[in-house]
């Protein structure tokens, strides 16, 4: 027998030597939630191991993320009051802005701080934009709000903005608003292919979503693949610095397509529902949790993503880099007891 592929699988060292896909903490962005009006971190029941943070506990998580060698954190705000026009979205005193400012300070230049840029956490109806008289999302009026929100977040120090709203023209509008205000160095992470997915449930608990209806009129149809390529090309043309696919595990083909055509880094977001499935299955003994996490994250990188947004970022860093100072620097993992 001439060809014996098993030779390169025969022991751990040779498997590591010829491995085609590698994971490192620096490739990960950790999503974090900062909530207004709480005195201590609160667990999110539907998303095991993840917390809603205070501004102070958010600082602790960022310090740990730096020590763990992560690439960045993405900050989502959970305000106590909301209204139809999302009036707090560009308010420098909002919980999102205060959280971003605290994260930037705690990171001290050692971590990329991304701010979520969307109206859904600030609108009383829960949509990603303002509504017109018929109750539909008004795309172009929403872009004006996005521009104002972008500038306000750049002014409190955000290094990058995660444009998750899926409005047509949002990258061009935000880029123009930032440049006009002098924030030419603030990067844009475009949620280029964000699908109307059933896997967002725990996230909506995390941000206490007040959504009425659904987002099918602006998020992508899960049945469509070619449409995602079009969205990626449009965002590249409009000046996106990074393009992202969301969710990740259910859309590995879309990640691969994006990587094949993109001239900028491709990110993918392993979303809350995908995370919760593995966590709950692990708790029930249905699968081996840590092995499943590593396999899932590897699949996203193998598909072509150079950046992975994942709630497991610190978990992975601790397990695979045990000598890292983060191993003992803080008793919680995004709020999760070790």
Cα–Cα dist 96/76, whole Å: 6
Task: Provide the token pair at 181.
Answer: 């205000």
Task: Provide the token pair at 41.
Answer: 């971190």
Q: Which residues contact 265 (CB under 8 A, 6 or more apart)?
A: 241, 242, 243, 306, 307
Only one residue has tokens 């022991």, namely: 11
- Of 194, 215, 229, 301, the catalytic one is 194
Contact 231, 220 (CB under 8 A): yes
Listed as own residue / partner, the contacts of 134-142 with beta carbons closer than 8 Å and 24 or more positions apart are 136/217, 137/167, 137/217, 137/218, 139/167, 139/168, 139/169, 139/218, 140/169, 142/167
Q: Which residues contact 21 (CB under 8 A, 6 or more apart)?
A: 298, 301, 302
Active site residue 194: yes
Contact 271, 246 (CB under 8 A): yes
Active site residue 327: no
- Of 53, 125, 246, 318, the catalytic one is 246
Q: Which residues pair with 189 in a beta bridge?
A: 162, 242
Q: Which residues are catalytic?
A: 194, 246
């Amino acid at each position: 027998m001439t060809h014996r592929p098993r030779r390169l699988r025969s022991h751990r060292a040779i498997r590591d030597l010829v491995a085609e896909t590698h994971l490192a903490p620096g490739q990960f962005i950790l999503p974090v939630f900062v909530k207004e009006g709480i005195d201590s971190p609160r667990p999110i029941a539907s998303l095991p191991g993840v917390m809603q943070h205070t501004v102070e506990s958010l600082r602790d998580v960022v310090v740990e993320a730096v020590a763990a060698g992560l690439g960045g954190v993405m900050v989502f705000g959970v305000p106590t009051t909301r209204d139809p026009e999302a009036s707090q979205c560009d308010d420098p005193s909002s919980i999102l802005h205060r959280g971003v400012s605290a994260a930037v300070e705690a990171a001290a230049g050692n971590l990329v701080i991304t701010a979520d840029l969307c109206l859904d956490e600030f609108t009383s109806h829960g949509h990603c934009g303002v509504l017109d008289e018929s109750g539909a999302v008004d795309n172009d009026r929403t872009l004006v709000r996005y521009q104002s929100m972008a500038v306000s977040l750049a002014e409190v120090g955000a290094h990058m903005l995660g444009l998750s709203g899926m409005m047509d023209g949002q990258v061009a509008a935000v880029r123009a608003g930032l440049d006009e205000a002098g924030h030419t160095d603030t990067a844009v992470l475009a949620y280029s292919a964000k699908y109307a997915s059933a896997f967002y449930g725990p996230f909506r608990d995390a941000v206490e979503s007040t959504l009425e209806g659904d987002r099918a009129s602006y998020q992508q149809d899960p049945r469509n693949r070619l449409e995602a390529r079009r969205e990626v090309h449009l965002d590249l043309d409009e000046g996106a610095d990074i393009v992202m696919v969301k969710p990740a595990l259910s859309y590995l083909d879309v990640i691969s397509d994006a990587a094949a055509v993109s001239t900028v880094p491709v990110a993918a977001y392993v979303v809350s529902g995908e995370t919760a499935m593995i966590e709950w299955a692990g708790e029930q003994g249905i699968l081996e949790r840590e092995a499943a996490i590593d396999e899932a994250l590897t699949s996203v990188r193998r598909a072509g993503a150079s950046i992975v947004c994942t709630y497991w970022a610190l978990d992975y860093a601790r397990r695979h880099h045990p000598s890292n100072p983060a191993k003992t620097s803080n008793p919680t993992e995004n709020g999760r007891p070790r």
